[in-house]
Amino acid sequence: MSPFDALKVRDAQTRLEDMYHPDADVNFKFINGDHWQDGKQWIGPRPDLSREPLTFERVMTAIKESFVSKNEIAGVAERHVEGVIGREPAWTIVPKEKLDKDEEIPSAVQSLIDEATEALVDWWEYRGIHAIIQELTLQSLWAMKSPIRIFTPRGLLASNPEEPESQVVPLAGSLQQALSWVFVDVPMPRSAGMLVDPFTMQEAGVYLYDDRTDGGNARRMEISFLDGGKTIYRVVTSKGDIQEVELELGGHMLLSELKTSKMFISPQIRQNQNLENMAYTMMTRNVVLGGFLERVFKGAKLPGKIVTGEDGVERWQNDPLPTGTGSALVLAPLVIEDAEGRKQLTNPDVSYRDPVPVETFVDTANTAKRNILEEARQLHTMIEGDAGASGVSRLQARASFMMSLYKTKSRLDRVIQWLLEASLALASQYAGQSNRYASLRVSASCRVDGGPLTSEERDAIMKMAQDGFLSRETAMAWLGVEDPDGEIEKIKGDRRALTLKQVQEMLDALTRAGITISPEQEVELTEMAGLTPRDVADITLERAQKEELETQRMAALERTFRPSSGEQDVNDQNQEDETA
């Protein structure tokens, strides 16, 4: 009896809605470039809607037409994704059973590893899994969780001869063919996710969708959960119809999800994004004012003429003011008559209203951008061009970014492991070989990349490693070495080879000088050089081989150039003749 046996489509939809983060929709619009959002994200002045509805509509329409935004939110989110999963992740298949340090993998197990690896590599490339994982990671940043599922489309299913109303997956002829029937999808978090029973803490993967086949529009639910070591896959309709099948997937469900510890696009990031957008919008308005300066006329009689209205009253009508290149404007003084009938002329004057200095908006926008980068732990991208910042200060800012990447990496590694293991298990079931790869597991690791380093940062990293404040593994990772452990082993091998060569050359020089040392002295010399007994054995063997080769070479030379007996007699006779 599973706690999800009585779960209905409507109940699952309610639980998924309750789990959906209230800021997810707003963040999704920001990520995709909608920063206006019906005026809700405009933080500048606006009329009172309740008092002046017509004025409000007119003013907000004018603001929208001149609204300018810069998508900093998408920038920091994409930079985070590129840092975690910008490069292809490293994954390998290994035995589940732990082996001793010097124990080799049995040939039968290695054959399974090679078989599974070859098929999964082809499937990974064909399905574009790397891009799907990037999409999954980006979605987790704006929604705080991101589901991922594996499935087989109904169009690839065949009729079930035992149950005509149901369908089954046909038997695959190979693992490659079976994997070609496994698809990967990243659904929206409002329609899929992991449900947890509060009494048993058992999990179930749920996916909701609308079934529009045969012209209908029925709501369906796909749910998978574990029961007694087997995976139960069930399809439930809104009418209560149920189809169920048992799968051997090694303890995996057909759905998983990537969660973050907190919302990446925080309210503070959105607030500063709105501040930056307002600064750029006001800057645009300021440019208009700078190009078309506002003029104020004081004490001036504008050009015009006297016209007679329909009521027979004469009035002064101003002419349009001339503007543009070559235009001239003549201002006449006003005649003012006081109560006693005395007249006097005004002093005409015109003044221009200068726009606000552009630095005001630039500084505001830069401050908002800096706040966004600092909140996203990416401040190092802003101080890279700061000549006054030291390499250590840049490293400190980058270290904060790297730590945020590693938090996402640890969660994403587990999702990639699930994806490969579950897909392999499902494909082996399609191929009629359930549990064939049950003795194997996947080890996955994303290649974290903090971006290009400046020369000052590289020098600071190497100095910290040299002074002992940073391990060689961490320093190599920061410098971009993809496999620090493997690189260290290569360096050790190079140093060992160099030391062996130096000791061997020293022993050869002593031999050529006619100095003979005992085996005990050779051992003492190699130990002083930091070599192991195995290294000593290698040197001894190499010297013996070289001596044997030298002996064989000299013998061959002697045989080649030694004269025959007849030639020796002739040479002796010639020598006697010359002597005579």
Question: How confident is the prediction along the chain (580 residues), in pLDDT tens digits per residue?
Answer: 789 999 999 999 999 999 999 999 999 999 999 999 999 999 998 888 888 888 889 999 999 999 999 999 999 999 999 999 999 999 999 999 888 877 889 999 999 999 999 999 999 999 999 999 999 999 999 999 999 999 999 888 776 666 656 667 788 899 999 999 999 999 999 999 999 999 999 999 999 999 876 556 788 999 999 998 899 999 998 888 888 899 999 999 999 999 999 999 999 999 999 999 999 999 988 877 666 666 777 878 888 888 888 888 888 888 887 776 667 777 778 888 888 888 888 888 877 666 678 888 999 999 999 999 999 999 988 865 554 555 567 777 788 898 999 999 999 999 999 999 999 999 999 999 999 999 999 999 998 888 877 777 778 888 888 888 777 777 777 677 766 666 666 666 665 665 666 766 776 776 676 667 677 776 676 666 666 666 666 666 766 777 788 788 777 777 665 555 555 554 555 555 555 4
Which pLDDT score is estimated for 471?
78
Q: Do 193 and 257 touch, CB atoms closer than 8 A?
A: yes
pTM, 2 dp: 0.74
Which pLDDT score is estimated for 387?
46
Which pLDDT score is estimated for 190?
95
CA distance 557 to 578: 28
Closest by CA to 453, choosing from 416, 428, 481, 425, is 481
CA distance 74 to 277: 14
Three-state SS for 479-496 is CCCCCHHHHHHHHHHHHH
CA end-to-end span of the chain, whole Å? Answer: 122
Which pLDDT score is estimated for 551?
80
Specify the DSSP class assigned to residue 103.
P
What sign has the CA pseudo-torsion 509, 513, 519, 525? negative
User: Which amino acid is present at 382?
Assistant: M
Q: In degrees rounded to 5, what are phi and psi of residue 203?
A: -105, 155
Task: Describe the crossing of helices 129-143 and 107-127 by its angle, rounded to 10 degrees.
Answer: 70
How many other C-beta atoms lie within 10 A of the C-beta of residue 134?
Answer: 18
What is the SS3 assignment for 192?
strand
Closest by CA to 259, choosing from 136, 376, 382, 84, is 136
What is the SS3 assignment for 119?
helix
What sign has the CA pseudo-torsion 8, 11, 15, 16? positive
User: Which amino acid is present at 109?
Assistant: V
CA distance 464 to 454: 15
Could you give the angle at the alpha carbon of 68 between the alpha carbons of 65 and 74, nearest 5°?
130
Which pLDDT score is estimated for 500?
63
CA distance 502 to 494: 12
- Structure-token pair, residue 8: 């209905």
Side-chain-facing half-sphere of 435: CA atoms under 13 Å: 6
Which pLDDT score is estimated for 168?
74
CA distance 283 to 287: 6
CA distance 408 to 404: 7
Q: Do 412 and 360 touch, CB atoms closer than 8 A?
A: no
User: Which amino acid is present at 52?
Assistant: E
Closest by CA to 283, choosing from 44, 59, 518, is 44
Specify the DSSP class assigned to residue 556.
H
Give the containing element (helix H, strand E) for 206: strand 203-211
What is the SS3 assignment for 4?
coil
